[in-house]
Structure 1
């Protein structure tokens, strides 16, 4: 048990505290690179030497050494995370203690910070003399509460460190009755109901949670039902690891291309075939795009602009076209949560990451202005492989079908990890992102209070009542849509609408309902009155192509103003 005292807490150097986790983080990074390099080399040995008892013994030793390297990396990562929590916690507690001391001194107390001695204020003299004094009991209770928290943090940190470090005899100690998690038990949580995942996570000890984050960040970071701060810790590790792997691959490919381009002779047919087979130049371009996207995420996490809330990384992967989920503000502590789902051409590159984060930051800022007393979190959800072409990919529903289950599970996870009263959850789809949202709400229950379709090419539903979300009331009151008059998306007519238009042009009889039931390429237009939702105003737009289609979040945009009102639930002010 910790016996930390008030003078010891006050004597802590915050700057020195914060250097400790970065040092162990650097050690973990070096060990991670070493383990990766070792793995590449060790896998080659059995290919060259596999027969006989000596080969078997050597390969067994190589395997054990690899496990030792990975264990050392995990231990260093756990230490870094434990010390980071300790540094932030103790710095905050020290600040609170100093605030109590300053208030007490203003009331006439004398407090010796080196010994903790408290000298009561002098008794007031003279007729009617009064002096505001903090009661001694209140002062002592404040200090006692702070020291109790500090000692608990001290003990927790000590247990985390003890779990992954050997004693003086070189024996790894573990707390009685606990065991560190194996990979299989963490992997088993994938795809489970987020409420069950949250129950599992809460059942773990702090040491087990810290170990899981450090040892299996690529698993923990994608578990819906794990709290945002834990997913953020895991995914920051993933971000660094994935960035380093992509940079290493890029540099190796660039060196290979440079070597072949500087041979001083024409390439042989085999060398040309090698370049074509490996698609070296194409892969280099892809790697550079994704490295730029990962670095853009890192900049928002580590270098927020003045006034920007902290960002939480809830998912990241370079696979496919790349995936990234970034929350502006902590959704677990927010009263209003909005999830922004992007559409066609979304890719893990700097351009799309910057655009997505810029829109999320703007919506978070607008919501904070409209509801300053209620925290808001806006989430950039690039959690699916989006179409990378208008034709044929954006004309297909398969991309939305693949996104639907992941989006539903993510929203369920937000409910499962949220602290305090039930939050108001809004999902905002843009362009093909509306198709993904629509398919999520037609193929299952989507855990949202409001659904917003911006510039939609169709959502896979004929009417707002086909969407399954909310509390079971009238869904049309909470389905919102807008499309600018000059947005090119309005020209994305589906086959049914095209035939209908041809029939009208040839003089076939039509009704007002026929004309209004406009079909777009992915279904009924939700910004048409017959869809049954609530249509809100957006600027008609000027220009052509993507200019109008991407202008909904520009400064001064009425659509952006309306999005903020919907996010905070000020429905009466939506225009």
Structure 2
């Protein structure tokens, strides 16, 4: 009987999405941004160093890392100046060079949509791609010395314009990362990673996995790039639709822990189905509206079982103090304290 009821819910979900009723039509379809960084064509044609540059589309992050570490400081700076958007977005490039290249891109862009990202000039922007709605990654702390690292993967409605909006702060990647860094402090670094095309609104993109599949590839390459630069494997915190991304990337990620919070599902039946050696955690507070989303997957719609369900097998994160869908990283909450403990490798 329970199986029959779940089937009815799944059919209702599919019908709702296809018909565009009950609010699902409020989302607009998005085209995933894939492929190499902007400026790749000019990069490929440039022989300023007297040799081929690594192909941004074909070269693995480890290969990119070896290439850059074989250059002199002057040669590295030449590439930063000539190709800031490639250097700033190419996984495997040393972190310090990416900061320098993205600062240069932001100063030269003169796009009012992104002036907030320049800040006081001290922001550590690890990725900045202005194409489409814009993608950004920012680091809090020092990745070169950090013993513990976390990466925050956001859900729907996040892009370069909403990356660090001042309303609903703890629903933004910058706000979540900054709060976690403040709770962990020195010895850690936290990356706010908005490096994929997210769904907009509650539309068919949010109910399907196509954007998450593209995002999973980008997240995997990103963590490969951190590993190539000697950064410790990260605890990856996956909020809302971001947990779908993490679920699809799980088997390939350089991660010590995967934490799904406010998750609609990870496109996996259980922890074993994720095929990861990382510890898997899940958090959902009683007031989170995500609890009203059917945890089913049928005909490509929906994202599967609730990661906080006992059958899924994830370790539970306490959420007694958290409130709503974006309250998990709020200061003073038991969930934030648990996240810090997970990041520092102290949680059991």
- The answer for the alignment partner of 2:136 in structure 1 is 324
Q: How does 1:33-112 map to 2 (within 5 A)?
A: none
CA deviation vs aligned residue, 1:179-236 (integer Å, no higher than 9, x gap) = 8437x93461444211111111111122211100111111111111111100000111
- The answer for the alignment partner of 1:568 in structure 2 is 344
Q: Is the 8 A contact 1:427 1:450 kept in 2?
A: yes
Q: Is the 8 A contact 2:54 2:64 kept in 1?
A: no
TM-score, normalised to structure 2's length?
Answer: 0.79
TM-score, normalised to structure 1's length?
Answer: 0.49
- The answer for the alignment partner of 1:208 in structure 2 is 75
Match of 1:181 among 43, 46, 49: 49
In the alignment, the residues of structure 2 paired with residue 469 and residue 496 of structure 1 have an alpha-carbon distance, to the nearest angstrom, of 21
- The answer for the alignment partner of 2:9 in structure 1 is none
- The answer for the alignment partner of 2:179 in structure 1 is 362
Q: Is the 8 A contact 1:363 1:563 kept in 2?
A: yes
Q: For residues 479 and 495 of structure 1, do their structure 2 counterparts lie closer, same or farther at Cα, with a shift above 3 Å needed?
A: closer
In the alignment, the residues of structure 1 paired with residue 296 and residue 234 of structure 2 have an alpha-carbon distance, to the nearest angstrom, of 35
- Please give the secondary structure, in 1, of the residue aligned with 2:89: coil
RMSD, aligned α-carbons = 2.2
CA deviation vs aligned residue, 1:18-57 (integer Å, no higher than 9, x gap) = xxxxxxxxxxxxxxxxxxxxxxxxxxxxxxxxxxxxxxxx
- The answer for the alignment partner of 1:463 in structure 2 is 270
1:539 deviation in Å?
2.5
Q: Is the 8 A contact 1:366 1:561 kept in 2?
A: yes
Q: For residues 207 and 496 of structure 1, do their structure 2 counterparts lie closer, same or farther at Cα, with a shift above 3 Å needed?
A: closer
Tell me if 1:532 matches 2:344: no
Match of 1:427 among 236, 239, 242: 236
Q: Which has the higher helix share?
A: 1
Tell me if 1:436 matches 2:245: yes
CA deviation vs aligned residue, 1:263-306 (integer Å, no higher than 9, x gap) = xxxxxxxxxxxxxxxxxxxxxxxxxxxx1xx222211x626xxx
CA deviation vs aligned residue, 1:438-485 (integer Å, no higher than 9, x gap) = 1111xx511111110011001111111122334xxxx5xx10001011
1:320 deviation in Å?
2.0
1:557 deviation in Å?
1.2
CA deviation vs aligned residue, 1:292-347 (integer Å, no higher than 9, x gap) = xx222211x626xxxxxxx4211112222210011112323211110000001112
Q: For residues 329 and 190 of structure 1, do their structure 2 counterparts lie closer, same or farther at Cα, with a shift above 3 Å needed?
A: farther
In structure 2, runs of 5+ residues without a counterpart are 1-46, 167-171
| Shift >3 Å, 4+ stretches | 184-187, 350-355, 494-497
Q: For residues 231 and 529 of structure 1, do their structure 2 counterparts lie closer, same or farther at Cα, with a shift above 3 Å needed?
A: same
- Please give the secondary structure, in 1, of the residue aligned with 2:311: helix
CA deviation vs aligned residue, 1:41-87 (integer Å, no higher than 9, x gap) = xxxxxxxxxxxxxxxxxxxxxxxxxxxxxxxxxxxxxxxxxxxxxxx
Q: For residues 312 and 486 of structure 1, do their structure 2 counterparts lie closer, same or farther at Cα, with a shift above 3 Å needed?
A: same
In the alignment, the residues of structure 1 paired with residue 290 and residue 145 of structure 2 have an alpha-carbon distance, to the nearest angstrom, of 36
Q: Which has the higher strand share?
A: 2
What count of residue pairs does the alignment treat as equivalent?
A: 295
Q: Is the 8 A contact 1:457 1:489 kept in 2?
A: yes
Q: Is the 8 A contact 2:321 2:333 kept in 1?
A: no
In the alignment, the residues of structure 2 paired with residue 385 and residue 554 of structure 1 have an alpha-carbon distance, to the nearest angstrom, of 25
- Please give the secondary structure, in 2, of the residue aligned with 1:469: coil
Tell me if 1:479 matches 2:298: no
Tell me if 1:296 matches 2:163: no
Bigger relative contact order, structure 1 or 2, given CA contacts below 8 A and separation 6+?
Answer: 2
- The answer for the alignment partner of 1:409 in structure 2 is 221
CA deviation vs aligned residue, 1:77-98 (integer Å, no higher than 9, x gap) = xxxxxxxxxxxxxxxxxxxxxx
Q: Is the 8 A contact 1:296 1:350 kept in 2?
A: no
In structure 1, runs of 5+ residues without a counterpart are 1-178, 248-290, 304-310, 498-519, 543-547
In the alignment, the residues of structure 1 paired with residue 308 and residue 49 of structure 2 have an alpha-carbon distance, to the nearest angstrom, of 50
